Every structure is written in C-alpha cells, then in structure tokens.
Amino acid sequence: MKVYFTPSQNMEDGKSFIFAQHLMDAAQALNFSVVFQADEADIIIELNDEINKNINYQNKKIALLSPSTAFHHLKTALQQSIDQAKVYSEWFADKNLETKNTKHIVAVTACPSGVTQTFMSAEAIADYAKSQGWDVKVEARGNIGANNIISDEDVALADLVFVATDINVDLSKFKGKPMYKTSTLAALKHTEEEFNKAFNEAQIYTGEHKTKGNRKNKETKYGKCAVKKGAHRISFLIILAIFIGLLLMYLQS
C-alpha cells in the first residue's frame, strides 16, 4: 500500500525531522510504501489534529494522524489511523449535516441615536441565539457606521432575518429571505418571546417598505429609543452653555 504524509505544520523543525524519521521507520515496519506525491498514494495521511479541506484529495482515502498524541506510540497510532481512513468527502459529511440542521440567524439592529439600544439589543440577540445553539451574526448599525457587516454568504445561509430597528434602514440585501421586524427595546427586554414570534410570523421580504400594525403596537408597548430624553438633554446643554457664556462675560466685565 502506498501512503503519502502531508507536511506537519504544528511542530518545530528539529522535532519535525525526528518525527519524520520515526514515521518512515513505522511505515516500513508495517510494509507500507511511502511516496512523495499525493496523487501516487492509495491513502493520504494528514499529520494534523483535523482534516484540512483540499480539493486535490477529493477522490482519495484520507487518514488522520495527530503528531502530538502519536509521537511515542507511532507504529500503533499509524496502523489505527490507516484502519480508520475514509474517503475525503466522508470526513466532512457529519459536519455538513450538523451545519444543515443548525439554525442560521442574521440580525440587524438600529435606533435613532445609534448607540445604547442598538448595541444592547444586538448583544441580547446574539447571546440568546448562541444559548439555543444557533449560528448567529448581528449587524449593529450605529452612529459611526455598521459593525459586524453581514455578507452575501451569511444571507444565503440564513434561515431567518431578525430586524430590531426603530428607524428605516436599507434591507435590500435580504430580499427573498424570511424576515421578522420588531423594535430594539422588544428585542432587548423580550428576546425569547420575540424569537418565538419570529419563527411563527416571519414573511418573505420582497423589498417593499411596509408599515404593519403589529410593529406599531410593539413600538407603543415597548417604546422606541429615548428620543425625547435625548431632546431634553440637548435643551439642557444649550441652556447650560448660555449660562456659562453669560457667567464668563460677567467675570470679564
């Protein structure tokens, strides 16, 4: 049987050379013929802790041998590795199945101030999704731009687009995907409840802007970002600035 060993990337040069020598001896003791071109081998032995994706190996049998665990029992470990060899595609079948069965969530958050509730709701969404074992990516659109931008690949994988915003935002890249809209405060304070609704009520986004009654009710119930509070603070700062200016004029006179 012809075997090919991939280069080990996790060992120092000196240790790697010694390991290679022992590996050759172990292969010969097991009556394996070592070749130095992957396409000539019957089995490719990946010297790593996991199988790396390589399209050149697709029609080959792959065995996994971890140098860190096999160093002192190399002959036995090599034989076990060969016995457990699988066709390249089989190594990734379980991972692909796991990915297929996992919910993929993308979310967008935004509020008028672009600060507090934008990022707090984003964190609440991400934390809840992860606690459920879902794959999640949340794009927080703050006052200095978008953070953690959702890519076209993320959108393609998404089972649900969860939109928690209090202002109109561009959602065109999500066209054709199931979408649920709510407010930032609802997503922050009632995360589980909103996700339950999302899976039941999400509708395919067509790119048309619609104002739904239930969205309006949510905003009334949970409230938008603190716009009024922000306005009051701005008014207070203006009054304070005028007062300081008058005080300085008085002191200079």
- The residue-averaged pLDDT of 159-169 equals 94
- The Cβ of residue 49 has, within 10 Å, a number of other Cβ atoms equal to 12
* 100 confidence band (pLDDT: 50, 70, 90): low
Q: Give pLDDT, residue 49.
A: 74
Q: Catalogue the active-site residues.
A: 111
- Structural contact between residues 148 and 141, judged by C-beta atoms closer than 8 angstroms: no
Q: What are the beta bridge partners of residue 2?
A: 33
Who has greater pLDDT, 113 or 50? 113
CATH class of 102-225: alpha beta
Instruction: Name the segment(s) of the chain with CATH classification 3.40.50.2300.
Output: 2-96, 102-225
Who has greater pLDDT, 41 or 252? 41
Rounded to an integer, what distance in angstroms lies between the CA atom of residue 158 and that of residue 163?
A: 13
Q: Give pLDDT, residue 94.
A: 57
* 25 confidence band (pLDDT: 50, 70, 90): confident
H or E element at residue 114: none
Is the confidence at residue 250, as pLDDT, over 60?
yes
Is the confidence at residue 165, as pLDDT, over 90?
yes
Percentage of the chain modeled with pLDDT above 70: 75
Is the confidence at residue 229, as pLDDT, over 70?
no
Q: What are the beta bridge partners of residue 64?
A: 46
Q: Give pLDDT, residue 179.
A: 96
User: Which residue type is seen at 164?
Assistant: A
Q: Give pLDDT, residue 95.
A: 55
Who has greater pLDDT, 159 or 53? 159
* 181 confidence band (pLDDT: 50, 70, 90): very high
Residues composing the chain: 253
Q: For 186-213, how does the pLDDT look when each residue is reduced to its tens digit (9 = 90+)?
A: 999 999 999 999 999 999 999 865 544 4
Rounded to an integer, what distance in angstroms lies between the CA atom of residue 127 and that of residue 76?
A: 44
CATH class of 2-96: alpha beta
Give the list of residues 6+ apart from residue 173 with CB closer than 8 angstroms, or none. Answer: 150, 152, 155
Average pLDDT, the chain: 80
Rounded to an integer, what distance in angstroms lies between the CA atom of residue 223 and that of residue 115?
A: 16
* 144 confidence band (pLDDT: 50, 70, 90): confident
> DSSP secondary-structure letter at 10?
S
Q: Give pLDDT, residue 91.
A: 76
Rounded to an integer, what distance in angstroms lies between the CA atom of residue 33 and that of residue 2?
A: 5
